[in-house]
A and B are shown apart, each in its own frame.
Chain A
Amino acid sequence: MALLELHQLEKAYDDSHVPAVRALTLHIARGEFVTLLGPSGCGKTTTLRMIAGFVKPTGGLIRLDGQVLANAANGACVPPEARGMGMVFQSYAVWPHMTVAANVAYPLKLRRTPRAEIDRRVDAMLELVGLGGFAKRFPSQLSGGQQQRVALARALIAEPRVLLLDEPLSNLDAQLREAMRGELIDLHRRTGVTIVYVTHDQAEALAMSDRVVIMQQGAALQIGTPAEVYHRPTQRFIAEFIGAANMLPCQVSGWSAGMAQIALPGVDAPIHAAHALDRTPDKPLLVVRPEQVRLHEAGAGWLDGTVLRRQFLGEAHEVSIETAHGVLRAKAGAIDAPPRGAYVGITWETGWLVAG
């Protein structure tokens, strides 16, 4: 059974006719790491704040462990302090007038935990997030990454039923962000806490989550594992938002064994693409990821093209090739990528069909 259920959740503000969140249904299992992913303004933060209790839904229902937290039908709304959750804010929100230990101890203090137990658990928690020895410091003496850990420790100390994270890594520099990503994964595995994570960074979402909810204009477009949303996007927007994608307008000439037969103007070779569609869309688009593109001698591929630009990325090259079907991006080897101006042939390993 799901631990946290959002059912037909909606939030409409008076001053806007488009709801910030609409008809969002999501069931999150105990111990799951679920990420709400989308561009800014897509409703992901509003959803998180409805779960936390800072925003009151205008429609639908939120249930945690069978207990109703918010029900728009009768106006019921449990205040944030009674929801037993932990939250990490984008700005960390570490209280500058309290020491690290006092920050982390605060939730336990409110729960009237005995002093000795507070001390013991705070020490253990600081150890867990790698801040042993920092207990007496004030936040102003800590780096951004360390403040982040304080916020994390504070959110975890009272063993929350759900841990909410609101873009917690967006204020860190790129290197630290990557390191913290690994630590969050480890922390999730060790504590087994249920996590709802909000981000606009698709790399973060793919790297850490059990499941990803792709949101746009208040609605959930696709809910699935990182591999599903990457390899089997249900919509053009998702294919473009997650990872890089080449989009080729095409014709569907037939269906066989669950694959679509693709016809590209000027291409004789039979091309197949997998899909999640139940019928041929009006404007079919073939999605090909750059790393699936293979380069050949000119004339040896399905399409030919001229290399427009070559960027060295360290572990590989990214090559942009001008073809009759537009500019295609391809990943090529770090050493053997074709130079600018080279005439090359193109094929790809797999393709995916979406509606345009």
Chain B
Amino acid sequence: MQRVPPPTLYDSEHMRMNTAHSRRPSPLILLFGLLLLVLVALVVYPSAALIQNSLTVNGRFGIENYLYLFDQRGSAVIWNTLSVALITTVCATALGVALAWLIGRVDVPLKAVWRVLLIVPYLIPPFIGAIAWVYLLSPVGYINRFWMDITGTRTPLFVIYGQAGTILVMTLYSYPIAYLVMLGPMRQISSALEEAARISGASALRVLRDITLPLLLPNMAAAALLIFMAALANFGIPAVIGFPARFFTLTNEIYVVILNFDLPNNLQIAAAMSMQLVLISIVPLLLLQRLGTGRTAAIVTGKSDQALLLDLGVWKYAAAMFLALITLAAVIAPLLAIFATSITPAPGVRLTAANATLTHYQTLFFGIPKVPRAFFNSLMLAFSAASVVALLSVVIAWVTVRTRLPGRRLLEVLVMTPYALPGTVTALAFILAFIRPVLGISLYNTIWLLLLAYVASFLAFGLRAVTGALTNIDPALEEAARSAGASPLRAFRDVVVPLVRASIVAGWFLAFMPALTELTLSALLFSVGNETIGQVVFGLYQEGRFNPTAALAFSVTISVLLLSLLLSRLTGGRLLI
């Protein structure tokens, strides 16, 4: 039931402290103004700079920048981008739904093992997954060499570079979105709805077709749109797998143009391309928001404790084989490939028990100064960004949920904007906004610019966690504290904060984890001395330092996985990033 708001500017209890004393502007208005100022600096100003630059040709207004992409490349880049995103969406959604069904509703052997392994691809940074697949399926990759050895041919089985490889790897690292979106509804769907079909005469598979999947259609659509947006925005995978075959998607084309200093107007042209990417990305975003108001919630009723697991008979072993294949492709084979490469003495050398070496790990931390530097930078950046995000999230969530200030919706829209933008676009907007000193402060080529970009990009994660928790807290709890004699601030501190503390911590980690291995923003906003982990992995890979890249990628991946495991343990399994 929606509580009817009182016809005041804010809830009556927060008003008293202002009116009783003075005519000064209320602290609430000041707070709101401050938040708005922060978000203008983080969102509005960079966006405006991006739009303005995209329409600037040689210092004058013009739309020529928007034509560059088509003049140079025809419709190839747009087509590459859309085909990769669409095919990935179809494959990853189907895979994620199938896996959620197997785990959520079917009695498969070794379920606990699959449940852990299936979310691991979500934790591995996608560009590291792409590098791992290069180790497996480059012309001299492990799988291709194995194939040539056993068949005696000199033609590889499949070379990963190009469109098909990009789609393969993107599917493997985006199915968890669909899997995680679907698993909850799949298990909560009232089992009576399915049993009613069984008793009507439908077989188990017929129930899946006629009842379960149609009921989950809105959730599936949401998952597909999220995957589509992620695929459009992905920079790392096509950068690793597309570049060598001259296969470019929009994010990569933008990246190349930004770094093409010989091209006059290159940043303005990149801005125009970014706008083109934004226009494409906005379609799924709008669809997603329309979907949000639909009938998605209607199905989660009834007694889920009676949810029956389907007994597939002997087919359950086939299901387990399928799960094994997926985890092999998405987790085990890539991790093994990275590890094997990291202990191989040199490229082209066959790894044996005798020649295995840890020398690349040594090189990494003692021979390449930017590596330890990047670890320090990324830890500091992730820690600071997560802390700023957590703090801003609490304040913004409180303003949007608990007050009736006009314009509080605007705050939410501003926070969601960078979340909806591809990282490449955000990075370019920050370059354009801060390339010259603003208010006498020069942020360009400093680590502060990265911090700002991280905060802008990850604020939505934190805000959603805290807003969700705060919305679920009955205002009567605060009112009870007030009538017991607590001041508004005291009631907030004693009642609200303890109740949302877990969500604040969750929000902190939701920003910290992706920030730690961030690539897209860092690849464009880093400068010498300010490298980050993601950027250094990518940089070493581009420099062709084959084995050290693997050593670094393996160290990063294992650290991230251990951190996630620790987090999951500490929170009793509630929090798994």
Contacts and interface: CB of A to CB of B under 8 A. Distances in A.
Interface of A: 52-54, 79-87, 89-97, 106-107, 110-111, 140, 151, 154-155, 158, 164
B251 to A, nearest CB: 37
10 contacts: A79-B198, A79-B203, A83-B199, A87-B199, A89-B196, A90-B192, A91-B301, A93-B302, A95-B196, A106-B197
Give the 3 A-B CB pairs with smallest separation, nearest first.
Answer: A93-B192, A107-B200, A93-B196
What class of interface size applies to chain B in its complex with A? 20 to 34
B288 to A, nearest CB: 20
Nearest to B196: A93
Contact of A91 (B192, B198, B199): B192
A79 B199 CA distance: 9
B215 A80 contact: no
A157 to B, nearest CB: 9
A96 B192 contact: no
Nearest to B199: A87
B210 to A, nearest CB: 7
A194 to B, nearest CB: 15
B192 A106 contact: no
B190 interface: yes
Nearest to B210: A106
Interface of B: 190, 192-193, 195-203, 206, 210-211, 214-215, 217, 295, 298-299, 301-303, 308
Contact of A81 (B203, B211, B299, B301): B203
B291 to A, nearest CB: 15
Nearest to B211: A95
Contacts of B192: 89-93
Contacts of B193: 93, 95
Given A87-B195, A89-B196, A91-B190, A97 B217 contact: yes
Residue among B199, B206, B308 with the highest chain A CB neighbour number at 10 A = B199
A106 B196 CA distance: 10
A54 B308 contact: yes
Given A83-B199, A107-B200, A158-B200, 18 more contacts: A52-B195, A52-B199, A80-B198, A87-B195, A87-B199, A89-B192, A91-B301, A93-B192, A96-B215, A97-B217, A106-B197, A110-B200, A110-B201, A110-B206, A140-B298, A154-B196, A155-B199, A164-B199
Given A91-B302, A96-B298, A96-B299, A80 B211 contact: no
Contacts of B190: 91, 93
A310 B440 CA distance: 86
A140 B198 contact: no
A82 B199 CA distance: 8
Contacts of A94: 196
B496 to A, nearest CB: 34
B219 to A, nearest CB: 12
A95 B302 CA distance: 12
B302 A154 contact: no
A82 to B, nearest CB: 8
Contacts of A106: 197, 200, 202, 210
Contacts of A140: 295, 298
A89 B202 contact: no
Nearest to A82: B201
A137 to B, nearest CB: 14
B216 to A, nearest CB: 10
Contacts of A83: 199
A111 B301 CA distance: 28
A89 to B, nearest CB: 4
Contacts of B303: 91
A158 B201 CA distance: 10
A92 B299 CA distance: 12
Contacts of A95: 193, 196-197, 211, 215
B557 to A, nearest CB: 39
A85 B201 CA distance: 9
Nearest to B308: A54
Contacts of B195: 52, 54, 80, 87, 89, 93
A97 B211 CA distance: 8
A81 B202 contact: yes
A106 B210 CA distance: 10
A239 B303 CA distance: 31
B195 to A, nearest CB: 6
A107 B197 CA distance: 8
Nearest to B301: A91
A97 B193 CA distance: 11
A106 B199 CA distance: 11
Nearest to B206: A110
Nearest to B218: A97
Nearest to B298: A96
Contact of B202 (A52, A54, A84, A110): A110
Given A54-B308, A96-B215, A106-B210, A85 B199 contact: yes
B202 to A, nearest CB: 6
Nearest to A160: B199
Contacts of A107: 200-201
A123 B140 CA distance: 68
Given A93-B193, A110-B206, A140-B298, A154 B200 contact: yes
